[in-house]
Structure 1
Amino acid sequence: MDKTDKAILKNLQKNARMTISDLSAAISLSMPAASERLRKLETSGVIKQYTVILDPEKINKNLTALMFLRFESTCKGEDFAEYAKTEAEINECYYITGDFDYFIKIVTEDARTLKSLLSRIKNCAGLVKTSNLVVLSNIIDNVSILSD
Structure 2
Amino acid sequence: MTSAVVAQISISSAACEAVGTAYRTDCLAKELQALVKKLPAQGEYAAAREALATASAELAGLSRQNRDNSQPRLRITVQADSETKRRPVSAVKPETVAETNAKALAILEDTTTVLLRSVEGNNDVALHYQRIAQALNSSKVLLRS
TM-score (norm 2): 0.24
Higher radius of gyration, 1 or 2: 1
By percentage of residues, which structure has more helix?
Answer: 2
By percentage of residues, which structure has more strand?
Answer: 1
TM-score (norm 1): 0.24
